A and B are shown apart, each in its own frame.
Chain A
Amino acid sequence: MSKTTSVELGGIGQAVKRKEDSRFIQGKGRYVEDFYLPGMVYGAFVRSPFAHARVKQIDTSAAMKVPGVLAVITAKELHGVKLAWMPTLAGDTQAVLADEKVLFQSQEVAFVVAESQYQAADGVAAVEVDYEELPVVIDPFKALEPNAPILRTDKKDQKSNRIFHWEVGDKKATEDAFRKAGVVISQKTHYQRCHPAPMETCGCVVDHNPATGHTDIYMTSQAPHAHRTVFALVAGHAGLVEHKTRVIAPDIGGGFGNKVPVYPGYVLAAVASVILGRPCKWIESRSENIQSTGFARDYHTTTELAATKEGRLLGLRVKTVADHGAFNAHANPSKWPAGLFSICTGSYDIPAADVQVDAVYTNKAPGGVAYRCSFRVTEASYIIERAMDSLARELKMDPTELRRKNFVRADQFPYATCLGWEYDSGDYHKAMQVALDAIGYDALRKEQAEKRKKGELMGIGISSFTEIVGAGPRSKFDILGLSMNDGVEIRVHPTGTVLARTGVKSQGQGHETTFAQIIAEELGIPESNITLEEGDTDTAPYGLGTYASRSTPVAGAATALAARRIREKAKKIAAYLLEASEQDIEWKDYQFQVKGVPGKAKTMAEVAFAAYTNPPPGMETGLETSYYYDPPNLTYPFGTYVCVLDIDSKTGEFKIRRFVAVDDCGTIINPMVVDGQIHGGLTEGFAIATMQEIRFDEQGNCLNGSFMDYLLPTAVETPRWELGKTVTPSPHHPIGAKGVGESPNVGSPAAFVNAFVDALSHLGVKNIDMPVTPWKIWRILREKGVA
């Protein structure tokens, strides 16, 4: 019998082509918008033109006369069904429809339901709302001033615009560190408000059957199970009980955290379907998506580092004012108000730290979602990597030298940070060296020195980030009380093919391929014979969904362990078939063999057939199992990115000349999928660093609420990414994998900005806030007398 190999199976480490792509590239994917149910009606929102105003009156009479309009729902009607307000994932309350007041421009004020999308739009235009404008609070610092108007007058106990003050670390030890320090730097940065802007906007079709009481909800959900539970908790009284509610997340055109929160549109489509007894579809326009759904970041931070004159880090102090908008609707585990921001000691061995975050209400759209990052990790990574460059400059030390001096060393793992995390594994020195070698660092520094003499501007930026993903251990991580664990079920059919289901939900990550590869590796069944299903709460086991790079660390681990449970039972069957005792059976070359008797073996397919036709006496028929995984720790991917860019000193235009990204995500399940994830995330990081910001004027008008002004990069300006890797498996994950989807978005912005600042540092420039644009660069050059 010839040996089966991992290559034949498409097992772990193989660049198997993505199973999902054939349907996507042939237009055969099925997205929420593709669902057309008989008798379906359409909902659309009347939205506020003002950022802060009292809603004096809503006149729906003209709208009700528009042909095809069936209903206009306002807060008044929602009060009638006790659904005017809903809890956010962060434990705040959010108005489903503006209740007496609007708190941000584009807030949902009324919901028009009509026979067609066109009639719904005409109905929206016919609703007359009488507003009385109120003073607008846009600047989060002004929001904290004692005389600022209090925005959340709906909350009786709310005496200011502060949502929370959170601190972690050791204040006294940090103070001592700063006192002892030979060098101290302080850096103010703003990680601007940006938006995940997935290709597909949010939407749903809700189909409530008044006869059976069942409700099917097709929706753009990164977390179908969690959302169903939320529906049951919030709207159980209105009929959305958990056992009769089915959330179906079909193909999803990108989520990036934007499809984690529950939006008013979902609730209203459900209300409309219940009221009318017909399916109701609600699909956002692009502008609605950008202007009203979960934004990301908006952290104003002062970062201070204390070090010895020789460049040994002694302490870190971080103070952040976080602009959360009108409702605290960011998605964070309950016990972590500022998410995992305390990962901000980064890749460095820092003895003491003091981190404080104040979150603030302003008249802006709610959010603060984890845009391709694990709960504020991007913000954390950005400030430490920017501050390290500033400290290096202050010390007149090469930024790589300073990093090398302070990296957590390979022999220090598992490493406990002063802010309470236990890094599982890493080799930061190595990852940086691989990146520097790839880019030819020393030669670039020489070239830069030459160019400076000629007045030419060239910059080199480094970011050596550490990620924290895979939330998480249930002792520490829950959302609305739900443990952040994931279930997986595996069924091996009699003919040796497999159906597996998970409680997470791919939105581009490629689970159908990579999770099949995990099973292939564990069971010796080719990945092409394995189907993976996700996204249907009626069939999939419970799980908290896909975001925060948690699928591979949590559900991926559950997949491997469920497969191992299958193998345990299969081994017993194999022993029976081979007429040997179980102890004499070994799993070798992807089959069960009798030790020492070459050729006496059974494949998993043979065992599977026997499981249904000829199981050992006394054993249950069948070969299937499930596993719920509670991770013992998070995983800590890392890497070093290096950016080289050139700037036109007269126009401020720039070109990214090279970008090398060395990632370490532990065991690599599919190198091609990993590369794809990194390409996508780097492109987003590039966009954040150079183009994207949701801006407001003083009145709270959103200035770039469409793709006209909220820019996505095209292939033309996107740099060519040069990828490298190191592999340091996670010691606690069943297959050593760490998760990779978010590293490039987390790590890259600092590399870009460090490069820009580096190009101008000889002029005394220490910071440029993102997005770094030609005009910002030109203004600096003009100030310094260069342009």
Chain B
Amino acid sequence: MIPQAFDYHAPKTLAEAVGLLARFGDDAKALSGGQSLIPLMKLRFAGPAHLVDINGIPGLDYLQEEGSTLKIGALVRQAQLEQSPVVKAKFPLLADAVRMIADPQVRNRGTLAGNLAHGDPANDQPAVMLALGAQVVIAGSKGERTLPIDKFFIGTLTTALNAGELVKEILVPIPPANSGGAYYKIERRVGDFAIVAVGSQVTLDKSGNCQKVGIGLTNAGPTPIKATKAEAFLTGKAPSEANLTEAGRLAAEMSDPASDTRAPADYKKAMVQELTIRTLRTAVARAKGGAA
């Protein structure tokens, strides 16, 4: 449990950080909360020659509402999200999920940006952000670009980030009234990664039909999955049990889980279906103003 030797850099500005990352290319890794990267280094599964620690860059830990967007800076810790009144009031899906990520110690260090940038389908935030339709603001030595979250995840542990790029902030649209969301995670034990989890976000129209639907799947395939077929099916329809069940079936159809030490694939697939139904049910109840 001892990492390989590495050089440590502590830039004071985003430009400096991006410059260092560009200079060392694939030999460098950004370090934020360290809760995914350090374990990999200690197991010698990762051995970057250079660590670029971005924790010393001032002004990256903002969590603020701007118009219809919640802006989340790269150094916002999961614990900050957990305690945020805005998150509690307007993002029940995120509020549900964040308190199920790891344990308080990990949440005190780990960041939302790092959770996404790690590109691990087992992480909870990718599914949440897919369901919420977030955007990722990426800083590189040539400037900034903004990417919708559903274009961000490329493969297991790979994202659309190029060498030399950093996630600067995440933009999450604030759901309108008549919206609700929910997250359900089946885990072997508290603090563990999901066996599978599903996050659902629903906005109802005046007649009570589903105007907008977002469904994200955690640990249900090689990448985080946006259950687009289920979303499309439910959009414009009444949230009846029959429709939710069909959405669940479609979500499971899109999932592609593997058997592992957590559970066999057949269980995971069945759970995608069941949890989609359950989270949609709760999301709809919450959209209608229910506390459930």
Residues of chain A touching chain B, judged by Cβ–Cβ distance below 8 Å, are: 117-118, 121-122, 125, 285-287, 650-653, 691, 695, 703-704, 709, 711-714, 716-717, 773-775, 778-779, 782, 787
**Is B263 an interface residue, CB under 8 A from the partner?**
yes
**Which among B2, B44, B195 is the interface contact of A775 at CB below 8 angstroms?**
B195
In the bound assembly, the distance between CA atoms of A653 and B184 in angstroms comes to 12
**Is B189 an interface residue, CB under 8 A from the partner?**
yes
The smallest beta-carbon distance between A700 and chain B, in angstroms, is 16
Q: Pick 16 A–B contacts, CB within 8 A, sort by A.
A: A118-B5, A650-B274, A651-B186, A691-B188, A695-B261, A712-B189, A714-B190, A714-B191, A773-B188, A774-B195, A775-B195, A778-B267, A779-B264, A779-B266, A779-B267, A782-B270
**Is B128 an interface residue, CB under 8 A from the partner?**
no
Residues in B neighbouring A118, C-beta threshold 8 A: 2, 5
Apart from A714-B191, A778-B270, list 7 A-B contacts with CB within 8 A.
Answer: A695-B261, A704-B261, A711-B189, A774-B195, A774-B263, A778-B271, A779-B267
Q: A125-B44, A651-B271, A704-B261 are in contact. Are A713 and B189 (CB under 8 A)?
A: yes
In the bound assembly, the distance between CA atoms of A650 and B275 in angstroms comes to 10
Contact A711 B190 (CB under 8 A): no
Q: A651-B271, A651-B274, A787-B270 are in contact. Are A711 and B188 (CB under 8 A)?
A: yes
Contact B2 A121 (CB under 8 A): yes
The smallest beta-carbon distance between B259 and chain A, in angstroms, is 10
Q: A651-B274, A778-B267, A787-B270 are in contact. Are A117 and B2 (CB under 8 A)?
A: yes
**Is B26 an interface residue, CB under 8 A from the partner?**
no
Chain B, interface residues (CB within 8 Å), range: 20 to 34
**Is B192 an interface residue, CB under 8 A from the partner?**
yes
Closest B residue to A284 by beta carbon equals B1
Contact A775 B267 (CB under 8 A): yes
Contact B189 A653 (CB under 8 A): no
The smallest beta-carbon distance between B260 and chain A, in angstroms, is 9
Residues in A neighbouring B191, C-beta threshold 8 A: 714
Contact B274 A711 (CB under 8 A): no
Residues in A neighbouring B103, C-beta threshold 8 A: 714
Main secondary structure on chain A at its contact with chain B?
loop
B202-216: contact bitstring with A at CB < 8 Å (1 yes, 0 no)?
000000000000000
Residues in B neighbouring A695, C-beta threshold 8 A: 261
Question: Quick one: which of B1-54 are within 8 Å of A by CB?
Answer: 1-2, 4-5, 44
Contact B261 A775 (CB under 8 A): no
Residues in A neighbouring B270, C-beta threshold 8 A: 778, 782, 787
Residues in A neighbouring B192, C-beta threshold 8 A: 711
The smallest beta-carbon distance between A260 and chain B, in angstroms, is 25
In the bound assembly, the distance between CA atoms of A652 and B274 in angstroms comes to 11
Question: Quick one: which of B261-292 are within 8 Å of A by CB?
Answer: 261, 263-264, 266-267, 270-271, 274-275
In the bound assembly, the distance between CA atoms of A386 and B5 in angstroms comes to 53
The smallest beta-carbon distance between B247 and chain A, in angstroms, is 16
Q: A651-B186, A691-B189, A711-B188 are in contact. Are A703 and B267 (CB under 8 A)?
A: no
Q: A117-B2, A287-B1, A782-B270 are in contact. Are A773 and B189 (CB under 8 A)?
A: no
Residues in B neighbouring A713, C-beta threshold 8 A: 189
Residues in B neighbouring A782, C-beta threshold 8 A: 270
Residues in B neighbouring A712, C-beta threshold 8 A: 189
Contact A717 B261 (CB under 8 A): no
Closest A residue to B263 by beta carbon equals A775
The smallest beta-carbon distance between A106 and chain B, in angstroms, is 14
The smallest beta-carbon distance between B289 and chain A, in angstroms, is 26
Residues in B neighbouring A286, C-beta threshold 8 A: 1
The smallest beta-carbon distance between A126 and chain B, in angstroms, is 11
In the bound assembly, the distance between CA atoms of A717 and B189 in angstroms comes to 7
Question: Quick one: which of B245-265 are within 8 Å of A by CB?
Answer: 261, 263-264
Contact B188 A716 (CB under 8 A): no
Closest A residue to B190 by beta carbon equals A716
Q: A287-B1, A711-B188 are in contact. Are A775 and B274 (CB under 8 A)?
A: no
The smallest beta-carbon distance between B237 and chain A, in angstroms, is 23
The smallest beta-carbon distance between B263 and chain A, in angstroms, is 4
The smallest beta-carbon distance between B193 and chain A, in angstroms, is 8
Closest B residue to A715 by beta carbon equals B190
Residues in A neighbouring B266, C-beta threshold 8 A: 779
Closest B residue to A714 by beta carbon equals B190
Contact B264 A775 (CB under 8 A): yes
Contact A653 B186 (CB under 8 A): yes
The smallest beta-carbon distance between A69 and chain B, in angstroms, is 14
B180-203: contact bitstring with A at CB < 8 Å (1 yes, 0 no)?
000000101111100100000000
Q: A285-B1, A651-B274, A778-B270 are in contact. Are A717 and B263 (CB under 8 A)?
A: no
Residues in A neighbouring B275, C-beta threshold 8 A: 651
Q: A691-B188, A714-B189 are in contact. Are A709 and B261 (CB under 8 A)?
A: yes
Residues in A neighbouring B189, C-beta threshold 8 A: 691, 711-714, 717
In the bound assembly, the distance between CA atoms of A122 and B103 in angstroms comes to 32
Residues in B neighbouring A650, C-beta threshold 8 A: 274
Residues in B neighbouring A778, C-beta threshold 8 A: 267, 270-271
Closest B residue to A648 by beta carbon equals B274
The smallest beta-carbon distance between A202 and chain B, in angstroms, is 15
The smallest beta-carbon distance between A235 and chain B, in angstroms, is 29
Residues in B neighbouring A121, C-beta threshold 8 A: 2
Residues in A neighbouring B274, C-beta threshold 8 A: 650-651
Residues in A neighbouring B188, C-beta threshold 8 A: 691, 711, 773
**Which among A122, A125, A716, A773 is the interface contact of B263 at CB below 8 angstroms?**
A773
The smallest beta-carbon distance between B268 and chain A, in angstroms, is 8
The smallest beta-carbon distance between A783 and chain B, in angstroms, is 11
Residues in A neighbouring B2, C-beta threshold 8 A: 117-118, 121
In the bound assembly, the distance between CA atoms of A751 and B186 in angstroms comes to 24
The smallest beta-carbon distance between A484 and chain B, in angstroms, is 37
The smallest beta-carbon distance between A490 and chain B, in angstroms, is 44
The smallest beta-carbon distance between B105 and chain A, in angstroms, is 12
Q: Which of A713, A774, A782 is the most central at the interface, judged by chain B CB atoms within 10 Å of its CB?
A: A774
Contact A122 B5 (CB under 8 A): yes
The smallest beta-carbon distance between B10 and chain A, in angstroms, is 21
In the bound assembly, the distance between CA atoms of A438 and B45 in angstroms comes to 52
In the bound assembly, the distance between CA atoms of A6 and B28 in angstroms comes to 67
The smallest beta-carbon distance between A308 and chain B, in angstroms, is 42
In the bound assembly, the distance between CA atoms of A58 and B6 in angstroms comes to 28
Residues in A neighbouring B5, C-beta threshold 8 A: 118, 122
In the bound assembly, the distance between CA atoms of A573 and B134 in angstroms comes to 86
In the bound assembly, the distance between CA atoms of A712 and B188 in angstroms comes to 10
